[in-house]
Amino acid sequence: MKDVEQLATHVLALHQPGSSQTPLVSGVLGASNDVQAVAIWLNEFNGATQRNYRKEAERFLMWLQWRGLNGLKQVTRLDIADYQAFLAAPPASWLGHRYKRTDARWRPFNKPLSEASQRQAMIVLNAMFSYLVAGQYLPANPIALVRGKRRGARRHEQLIERYLEVDTWQLVWQQVQSMPGQTKRARDQAERCRFLFSLLYLLAPRVSEVANQSMNSFRLYKGRWWWFVTGKGGKQARVPVSQEMLAALKRYRLYLGLSELPPIDDDSPLLRSVTGRNGVTANMVYRIVKGVFAEVAALQSDTYIRQQLQRASTHWLRHTSITHADEAGVSLKHLSKAARHEKLETTAIYQHAEDQQWHDDWSRLRIIKSGPEGG
């Protein structure tokens, strides 16, 4: 069997979308090998979604070679079962600390995947296989057989768990508000961070949407302010801007030396580098958020909160926003429109309030009753 370094080199082209090795074609796929076919699929996405999908696809292609299987066209239902078992317990040679993808010490995993991560990996691979079947590159999708066994089951069985409780979110916000500003650079970073966290919590954007928007994405429409966003799949949408969000925008713009509110022709970057001129990448947004979470986690004595913050990422704030909006009483219809979900069922998995009420009601059942009747 090839070692991990050889396997990784073989599929490195996945990290170079748009190169001559990954042609984009109209209609059915024009790929001559698995790496090209998967790269074409990956070019349908961008930002964090593309990075996550690429990671899962690369792991699977490496595993195929490691097992000596002859490419995607030969994958069977039994191979999929073997891969699921592999994700739960990859060999030690596949595990390592986090390094850059081009570093020789890089490994596909830093630890075996949890059940939730295993499910996510199979969801991504199912989407990949379905795309390649639709593009007539593959004859069939073996993962469809796995899903077929669950026909009739609810599509979203699990409630979203990757969110911060209200008290934990308050700890994060307090940290953001108290960021030091002894130097000009520190003040620049603190003001940018304050605006970013306001944006992520009050508008529930995806990280790619934050990095790619301009100042005039905030617009006055029918007497009220809205955030006009180009979201997943290039879809246009608008999200209501609350007075709190509007105040955060004004504060950030005034700090940058701009007018309180953006004119319609202000197409400058919404979120700026510390110099205040250039925009920031999705990766920078991710690193800023992870840095704050790490700072808050280091201050916590509660193990659960500390571990939750260590795991949390930028997308957790989108989940947190939607979940807290539900708990605040926002209707499912408006919650779905703000989250920009195509189906109400997708938004419903964020609804935890009913479970909490159910839990409180059920807690009335007690072995030993209190009061006069209980003795």
pLDDT at 55 over 80: yes
pLDDT at 193: 95
Say whether 236 sits in a helix, a strand or coil.
strand
pLDDT at 65 over 60: yes
pLDDT at 248: 95
- Please check whether residue 281 is in contact with residue 211, taking contact to mean a CB–CB distance below 8 angstroms: yes
- Please check whether residue 73 is in contact with residue 140, taking contact to mean a CB–CB distance below 8 angstroms: no
pLDDT at 288 over 90: yes
First to last CA, the chain: 72
User: What domains can you pick out in the chain, each with its CATH number?
Assistant: 4-148 (1.10.150.130), 166-353 (1.10.443.10)
Radius of gyration of the CA atoms of the chain, in A: 24
Reported as a pLDDT band with limits 50, 70 and 90, residue 31 is confident
pLDDT at 374 over 50: no
- Please check whether residue 25 is in contact with residue 7, taking contact to mean a CB–CB distance below 8 angstroms: no
Return the DSSP state at 113. Answer: P
The predicted model scores a pTM of: 0.53
pLDDT at 219: 94
Out of 66-70, 73-77, 151-155, 350-354, which region has the weakest mean confidence (pLDDT)? 151-155
Distance CA 49, CA 52 (A): 5
Reported as a pLDDT band with limits 50, 70 and 90, residue 171 is very high
Neighbours of 138 (CB within 10 A): 21
Contacts of 92 (CB under 8 A, 6+ apart): none
- Please indicate whether residue 54 or residue 206 has the higher confidence score (pLDDT): 54
pLDDT at 321: 85
pLDDT at 26 over 50: no
> Once rounded to an integer, what is the mean pLDDT over residues 253-275?
93
**Structure confidence by residue, pLDDT tens digits, 183-233:** 999 999 999 999 999 999 988 888 888 887 899 999 998 888 988 987 666
Distance CA 150, CA 159 (A): 18
Q: CA dihedral defined by 252, 257, 262, 266, rounded to 10 degrees?
A: -120
Task: Give the closest residue to 79 by CA, choosing from 141, 24, 4.
Answer: 141
pLDDT at 279 over 80: yes
pLDDT at 25: 42
**Structure confidence by residue, pLDDT tens digits, 352-366:** 544 455 455 555 555
For the sheet with 224-230, list strands across it: 218-221, 224-230, 236-240
Reported as a pLDDT band with limits 50, 70 and 90, residue 149 is very low
| Pairing mode, strands 236-240 and 224-230 | antiparallel
**Structure confidence by residue, pLDDT tens digits, 326-357:** 777 766 566 666 655 444 444 444 445 444 55
Out of 40-49, 64-73, 165-174, 355-364, which region has the weakest mean confidence (pLDDT)? 355-364
> Once rounded to an integer, what is the mean pLDDT over residues 97-121?
83
Range among 32-41, 245-254, 300-309, 344-353 rated most confident: 245-254
pLDDT at 27: 44
